[in-house]
Amino acid sequence: MKIWTVPGWALLSGIAAAASASPPATPPAAPVVPNIYASIPTLQKRMDQGQLSAEDLARAFIMRIAAKDQSGPNVNSVLEINPDALEIARQRDEQRASAPTSHPPLLGIPVLLKDNIDTGDRMQTTAGSLALVGPPAPRDATVALKLRAAGMVLLGKTNLSEWANFRSTHASSGWSGRGGLTRNPYVLNRSACGSSSGSAAAVAAGFVTVAIGTETDGSVICPSAANGIVGIKPTVGLVSRAGIIPISHSQDTAGPMARTVGDAARLLTAMAGSDPQDPATREADLHATDYTRFLDPQGLRGKRIGVVRALTGYSPATDRILDQSIAAMRAAGAIVIDPVKLPHLNEFGDAEFTVLLYEFKHDLNAYLATRPRLKVHSLADLIAYNKAHADTEMPWFGQELFLKAESMGPLTDKAYLDARQKAHRLAGPEGIDAALAAQHLDALVAPAQGPAWVTDLVNGDNDGGNGYGTAAVAGYPSITVPAGFVHGLPVGVVFFAGKWSEPTLIRIAYGFEQHTHARRRPHFFPTVLEETPQADAPAENATAPAAASVATPSSTPVPAASSAPVPAASVPAPATTVPTSG
């Protein structure tokens, strides 16, 4: 069930209808049709030269959303279109005309926001829940304010795993009561992962240039990898969380999602910085910078990178893609230490889960207090709403995580304080920091995730292992970059390191991207294929041919929704498995 704001739906429907209407006797000048996969610098150059307008660009994306997201393959990644998008785009064009040589670097670039990020306009902010449909947020989240200040066009909101995948351990990524199921644009019966499912799928499918996701544990990295794009999960505290529907103040952050490392770095530059509304960002201005300074094609040269083999084993094909990636890194001048030990991998899962349960109740109740006009005002109210509307909110899975969180005490409980200290210590200082110091490393690398699994709304996600959890629990940064394909399904690697290490990670990720060019455009296949389509045009400053894909019997054609899920990989899991959330 999709709930659009009426003006936003009318805008999309009107543009689509106009595009298909019979031409007038004297047709107006045809709108410029941009390359919807173009990078930000390419789009800016065309707009600066008068070959393209921000309005043309926004209109082209809205038409593509109507054709490919809301019909055709029905990716279903976009929850609503901003009814003011074209007017904002026209204002950006006027701004460019008035200052043609001195304007923000993101002027006129469209961006989609995950539907847990407040916007003080006519759009909804609901975390995918019908319980929050109603009066819009009273003000912009700090991230939204920063994007507007950078000159971007807020095009709309994206679907997500409802409540950022923190309602049930049996949830299916990409499903929400408000928006239904988001599909993976590479293979439509496969998961888009989550919880930033719509943001990742929309960027991959060419529905927008860039998007914003959020992560508590995996919700930027997993969907980015599953949809063949770049995602950056920043250090907790680099980007403000004010005005973002929370799970955990210990782990939550927003992050950029883009088709290239360069565009992700440009977006992060606009997002980063201190905010008095978020105490965690008090040091952010000391570290925030122009991250495009680190887009070095030779960024791998001399870097010491450790391979965490304990985070492999999702499938033989995934491991072969990692091996190809290691060979590419070495060829580009990196010093790769394989393997390295990442201590305490299976020792902090229970503590993390305890922290998330405590903080979700506390943080969500505090957020709901900022929106008094909603029909729910607490986690207890949400639980009651879901029970009363189980036909629309709980047709596939329940709310056992809500119930567990509601049973938790205050943040002064010793159980919470001990768990928070343990989780951070084992994942951060005694985990990632210790691994880096032991081998004098610049970063660690692992597969972000295996190829996307078959969507199974009845039984939920079946995602096997991952490489992103330790950085998420530590609050440290990570970045995923496309690395290859298994039967047309993208696989990414994830680089991670210590607190505030974004510059180093961006250098490494950009160098890797420029020596592999593994990203390929999606073609909306209904199920997996033996071969993958041709690669995209070379990325910025391309220096090498695209990486080869891998095809093995580990992924077999499956006839979609009613099929049994792909068996989970035999990877050691923490004692408590935390859903990909945030």
Cite the active site residues: 114, 195, 219
**Strand pairing partners for 113?**
157, 212
Residues in contact with 528: Cβ distance below 8 Å, sequence separation at least 6, in sequence order: 187, 190, 487, 488, 489, 555, 556, 557, 558
3-state secondary structure of 454: strand
**CA–CA distance, 283 with 274 (Å, rounded to integer):** 7
DSSP H helical ranges for 4-161: 6-20, 40-48, 54-64, 85-98, 142-149
Tokens standing for residue 81: 């279109």
Pairing of strands 210-215, 253-258: antiparallel
Amino acid at residue number 397: F
Q: Which residues pair with 445 in a beta bridge?
A: 307, 495
Torsions phi, psi of 445, nearest 5?
-140, 145
Beta strands in 152-303 (DSSP E): 153-158, 175-176, 180-181, 210-215, 230-233, 253-258
What are the tokens at 334? 């990196």
Question: What DSSP state is assigned to residue 501?
Answer: -
143 in Cβ contact with 243 (< 8 Å): yes
Residue 68 sits at φ, ψ, to 5 deg, of -115, -25
Assess contact for 576 and 349: CB atoms under 8 A: yes
Structure tokens at 310: 């304990």
Burial readout 565-581 (b: 16 or more C-beta within 10 A, e: otherwise): bbeebeeebbeeebbbb
Q: Which residues pair with 239 in a beta bridge?
A: 272
Residue 258 neighbours by CB distance under 10 Å: 25
C-alpha span between 530 and 552 (Å, rounded): 8
| DSSP one-letter code for 446 | E
Runs of H (alpha helix) within 49-129: 54-64, 85-98
Length of the chain: 582
Name the nearest CA neighbour of 464 among 325, 320, 565, 550: 565
The neighbour count for residue 401, using CB atoms within 10 Å, is 24
**Does residue 105 contact residue 66 with C-beta atoms inside 8 Å?**
no
Half-sphere exposure of 190 (CA within 13 A, CB side): 30
What 3-state DSSP class applies to 284? helix
Order of all β-strands in the sheet with 335-337: 78-81, 153-158, 110-114, 210-215, 253-258, 230-233, 478-486, 489-496, 443-447, 304-307, 335-337
**Quick one: how far is CA 239 from the chain centroid?**
15
